[in-house]
Amino acid sequence: MSTTQIQQQELKKVVDTIPNRIKTFKIIVVGDSNVGKTSLTYRFCESKFIQTSEATIGVDFRERTLHIDDEDIKLQLWDTAGQERFRKSMVQHFYRNVHAVVIVYDVTNRASFDSLVYWLDECDRNCFTNVPRILVGNKCDEKLEINTNMAQRFADQHNMPLFETSARLDSECDNVEAIFLTLAHKLKNQKQLIPVDVVGQTQRLIRANPVNDNSSWNCCLRS
Amino acid sequence: MESNSEIINADDETSSTLNDDSSKLYTNSAEFISSEENEDTRSELKFDPVLESEEEKSKRLEIEEALKDGDSALETWRRLALGKYGLVNDDLRRQVWPLLLNVDPDPSEKAPLLAELSQHSEYSQVVLDVNRSLKRFPPGIPYKQRVALQDQLTVLILRVIMKYPHLRYYQGYHDVAITFLLVVGETVAFRIMERLSTDHLRECMEPTMEKTSYTLTYIYPILQREDKDLYEFMDSATVGTMFALPWYLTWFGHSLNQYRDVVRLYDYFLASPPLMPLYVAASLVIDRRQDVFDVGCDMASIHCLLSQIPDNLDFESILQRASNLYKKYPPSKLEKDVKNRVQKELEQRRKDEQRIRRRLDKNRAAWVKMRHYLPNWLLLHYRNKYGLLFATATLLVGLYAYLRATETGFSLFKQGPWNI
């Protein structure tokens, strides 16, 4: 008797949150101008590097369906404009019903790292739930301006996993894949709209290795 | 030209001599090499040469006649720019665009020096965007020429925002500027951009995009009156207006894949009132109504579909419809609806926020739940003076009750004078 009740409840939850049968998650990608938000999402969704990347105006949208644990889930990536003026009055459109936030900085550009505080603040102000956030340092094929330790410390302080990658290099393709797969796993296993409390957990830097991913998102979920 | 050669000291020779060539360069479209070697799946801007049809030829002759005439009125230029095929080719555009805005191509105004420009707070953002504007240049353009044009573009943009300090640069402004730079050259492009920035695009150049966001809402009342089914479909999918943001900000320059469509639309907009891009946006959505229905009633899918404009659209009929829409539903008739709609969206957002909060609260302690239903001043925040006041009052009432109780002898069961 009690089991059927629970099932019904779960069913209701599923119907409530997923109208298109296939689980869809909205992920927004934020960060300073020219850090490579478009390149990253393009790399993940099209498995290619954009040669002639342009400034994003407003918000661009890409999606990809993944098959995880015998289930299809769809990641919708909303690639937002980096220029600050777009955010002042458009930002609520971007963050509406968002499931996760990817914050990107450019490892060759200190200013983009310094702005992370600003992006976190924007995220706090616009996400009601404590949505999962991940930090991505892009362009690691070039000369590092921000060393990994510093970035890791920042990520730990704010309870985010850190990834360093390059959207340009084909060899890093797996890494980009791993970033979004990690996120997909986390989103899939997380109960809808219940904030994941990761206080007190130190999350480790994950380098292009999907095998190790499990441990990382499990540790976030276990808390 | 003298003023231009001062702008870029280092490579002013290429910069200033290029100016004259640049406008002619793009009329020779036969010389362009197609960009097939580029593997990017995003469609590149296509500069394909198009053979002039009979109709286009007669339009061209008509414009040439008007130009020879010498004292054609503004009305004539407007009629020609709006009508079928617009101004036909870039050679004619170079002559007619300045006439449409009645700008004075006076080259005597000194442009600021590069050193000055680089001090500007928007300088690095402009350079970033200009460097990423490769798609807007004709394929096969020699590297040196492209770099020189990009320098001119940076100068052009910064010159305008330095002359009018209340105007802010936005990503997309460079898409507008480059269209003019390619067609009319540096000097006249500055005059045109100056004029548009203080007129048509002024709203977009405010410190925030609030007004731009508001103005985009016009699309919906137009759809509601013209195509109710489509309106209801898009409204129930909560598509919003973000798909049209780049259209409005760049006059479609950023979103179109074919160069000839871009310049054709610019003919049209230069001869139109400032809100016309929104009518064209509505007209374009109506043109693709079946695609919208087919893709399903889902915000993301519709946004995605609309933001990618296919190459094979018949823009002449889209523009024709836009003109009709403007006549039928001028902005003054829509204002009230726009206002109501913005208000309604605001309320909806507030409701959504509350709903999500409530859902979250299910998993929280009772006192946290209570928080959202209590007015703020009632909460005992340390830093809140009302909270402090409330705490003090509570303490005083407690003290009073205690004193009363001890006065009469403390017992809950003892009959007080009020309980006889």
Judging contacts by C-beta atoms under 8 Å, the chain B residues touching residue A51 are: 38-40
Per mean pLDDT, which range of A153-167, B170-184, B255-269, B389-403 is the poorest?
B389-403
Which pLDDT tens digit goes with each residue over B191-213? Answer: 999 999 999 999 999 988 999 99
Chain A to chain B Cβ contacts (< 8 Å)? 103
pLDDT > 80? residue B366:
no
pLDDT > 70? residue B385:
no
State residue B387's pLDDT score.
66
Q: Which of A119-128, A210-219, B3-12, B200-209 is modeled with the greatest confidence? A: B200-209
Q: How many CA atoms lie within 13 A of A221 on its CB side?
A: 17
**Helices and strands (H and E) in chain B: how many:** 22, 0
The single-letter DSSP state of residue B46 is B
**Under a CB-based contact definition with an 8 Å cutoff, are residues B94 and B64 in contact?**
no
Query: Which residues 12-31 on chain A approach chain B with CB closer than 8 angstroms?
Result: 20, 24, 26
Measuring CA to CA, which residue among A206, A184, A215 is closest to residue A24?
A184
Judging contacts by C-beta atoms under 8 Å, the chain A residues touching residue B213 are: 89-90
- B208/B211 Cα distance (integer angstroms): 8
State residue B39's pLDDT score.
35
State residue B17's pLDDT score.
37
Measuring CA to CA, which residue among A187, A136, A138 is closest to residue A162?
A136
pLDDT > 60? residue A200:
no
CB contact under 8 A, B171 and A81: yes
- B266/A201 Cα distance (integer angstroms): 56
Binning chain B into helix, strand and coil, the percentages to the nearest 5 are 65, 0, 35
Mutation to test the B interface, candidates A46, A50, A80, A85, most B Cβ within 10 Å:
A85
Per mean pLDDT, which range of A29-38, A192-201, B112-121, B347-356 is the poorest?
A192-201
Buried b / exposed e over B143-163, threshold 16 CB at 10 Å, is: eebebbbbbbbbbbbbbbbbe
User: How many separate domains does chain A show?
Assistant: 1
**Which carries the bigger pLDDT value, residue B32 or residue A132?**
A132
**Under a CB-based contact definition with an 8 Å cutoff, are residues B184 and B93 in contact?**
yes
A65 by Cβ neighbours in 10 Å (0-12 / 13-18 / 19+) ranks as: exposed
Instruction: State how beta strands A59-68 and A71-80 pair.
Output: antiparallel
Range B210-350: architecture per CATH: Orthogonal Bundle (1.10)
State residue A207's pLDDT score.
39
Per mean pLDDT, which range of B101-110, B141-150, B254-263 is the poorest?
B101-110
CB contact under 8 A, A89 and B172: no
> How far away is chain A from the Cα of B69, in angstroms, using its nearest Cα?
42
Mutation to test the A interface, candidates B245, B247, B364, most A Cβ within 10 Å:
B245
Proportion of chain B above pLDDT 70, given as a percent: 79
Proportion of chain B above pLDDT 90, given as a percent: 60
Degrees to nearest 5, angle at CA B135 with B7 and A145: 75
State residue B322's pLDDT score.
98
Pick B250's closest partner by Cβ from A57, A76, A81. Answer: A57
CB contact under 8 A, B170 and A83: yes
Which pLDDT tens digit goes with each residue over B39-84? Answer: 333 345 777 777 788 999 999 999 999 999 877 899 999 999 999 9
State residue A223's pLDDT score.
27
**Which carries the bigger pLDDT value, residue B13 or residue A164?**
A164
State residue A88's pLDDT score.
75
Pick A129's closest partner by Cβ from B208, B242, B356. Answer: B356
Which pLDDT tens digit goes with each residue over B214-228? Answer: 999 999 999 999 999
Q: Which of A216-220, B266-270, B393-397 is modeled with the greatest confidence? A: B266-270
Pick B242's closest partner by Cβ from A20, A24, A58. Answer: A58
Q: Could you give the angle at which helices B315-328 and B276-287 cross, rounded to 10 degrees?
A: 120
Residue A2 in any domain: the answer is no
Domain ranges of chain B: 2-52+89-205, 210-350, 374-419
Chain-centroid distance of CA B278 in Å reads: 10
Pick B40's closest partner by Cβ from A51, A58, A85. Answer: A51
Chain-centroid distance of CA B127 in Å reads: 19
Question: Helix (H, G, I), strand (E, B), or coil: what is residue B416?
Answer: coil
Per mean pLDDT, which range of B132-136, B137-141, B170-174, B302-306 is the poorest?
B137-141
Q: Which helix (H) or strand (E) holds A60?
A: strand A59-68
Pick A88's closest partner by Cβ from B208, B249, B359. Answer: B208
Token output for B186? 């540096």
CB contact under 8 A, A52 and B213: no
State residue B215's pLDDT score.
96
State residue A22's pLDDT score.
83
Per mean pLDDT, which range of A117-126, B75-84, B367-376 is the poorest?
B367-376
State residue A222's pLDDT score.
29
Measuring CA to CA, which residue among A188, A169, A160, A167 is closest to residue A75?
A188
pLDDT > 60? residue B13:
no
Computed over every residue of chain B, the mean pLDDT equals 83
Pick B245's closest partner by Cβ from A52, A58, A83. Answer: A58
CB contact under 8 A, A86 and B242: no
Q: How many residues does this entry show for chain A?
A: 223
Tell me which residue range forms the domain holding A188: 23-222
pLDDT > 80? residue B359:
no
State residue A69's pLDDT score.
87
Query: Residue A95 — very low, low, confident or very high, per pLDDT cuts 50/70/90?
Result: confident
> How far away is chain B from the Cα of A94, in angstroms, using its nearest Cα?
9
Pick B213's closest partner by Cβ from A50, A55, A90. Answer: A90
Q: Which residues pair with A79 in a beta bridge?
A: A29, A60
Mutation to test the A interface, candidates B38, B122, B132, most A Cβ within 10 Å:
B132
Which pLDDT tens digit goes with each residue over A32-87? Answer: 999 999 999 999 998 889 888 899 998 998 999 999 888 899 999 999 999 988 88
B6 by Cβ neighbours in 10 Å (0-12 / 13-18 / 19+) ranks as: middle
Token output for B96? 């007619």
- A80/A91 Cα distance (integer angstroms): 9
The single-letter DSSP state of residue B17 is H
CB contact under 8 A, B41 and A46: yes
CB contact under 8 A, A33 and B254: no
CB contact under 8 A, A57 and B363: no
State residue A206's pLDDT score.
40
Across the beta sheet with A59-68, what order do the strands follow? A59-68, A71-80, A23-31, A100-106, A133-138, A162-164
The 3-class SS string of A158-184 reads CCCCEEECCCCCHHHHHHHHHHHHHHH
Token output for A69? 């644990």
- A51/A66 Cα distance (integer angstroms): 25
Pick B209's closest partner by Cβ from A59, A85, A195. Answer: A85
- State the ipTM, two decimals: 0.76
Which of the listed CATH numbers 1.10.1060.10, 3.50.40.10, 3.30.420.40, 1.10.8.1310 matches domain B2-52+89-205? 1.10.8.1310
Judging contacts by C-beta atoms under 8 Å, the chain B residues touching residue A56 are: 171
Residue A150 in any domain: the answer is yes
Per mean pLDDT, which range of A4-8, A152-156, B107-111, B245-249 is the poorest?
A4-8
B30 by Cβ neighbours in 10 Å (0-12 / 13-18 / 19+) ranks as: exposed
pLDDT > 50? residue B388:
yes
Q: Cβ–Cβ contacts within 10 Å for residue A165, how many?
A: 28
Question: Helix (H, G, I), strand (E, B), or coil: what is residue B116?
Answer: helix
Q: How many residues does this entry show for chain B?
A: 420
Judging contacts by C-beta atoms under 8 Å, the chain A residues touching residue B132 are: 34, 52-55
Query: Residue A84 is part of a domain; what is its CATH number?
Result: 3.40.50.300
> CA quadruple B213, B216, B220, B222: dihedral positive or negative?
positive
Average pLDDT of span B143-162: 94
Average pLDDT of span B341-369: 77
Measuring CA to CA, which residue among B51, B43, B208, B127 is closest to residue A91?
B208
What chain A residue is nearest to B205 in terms of C-alpha separation? A85
Query: Residue B364 — very low, low, confident or very high, per pLDDT cuts 50/70/90?
Result: low
Q: Which of A17-21, A190-194, A202-206, B356-360 is modeled with the greatest confidence? A: B356-360
CB contact under 8 A, A54 and B132: yes
Average pLDDT of span A78-101: 86
- B277/B299 Cα distance (integer angstroms): 22
CB contact under 8 A, B209 and A86: yes
Which pLDDT tens digit goes with each residue over B326-347? Answer: 999 999 999 999 999 999 988 9
**Under a CB-based contact definition with an 8 Å cutoff, are residues A202 and A156 in contact?**
yes
Residue A61 in any domain: the answer is yes
Residue A18 in any domain: the answer is no
Q: Which residues pair with B314 in a beta bridge?
A: none
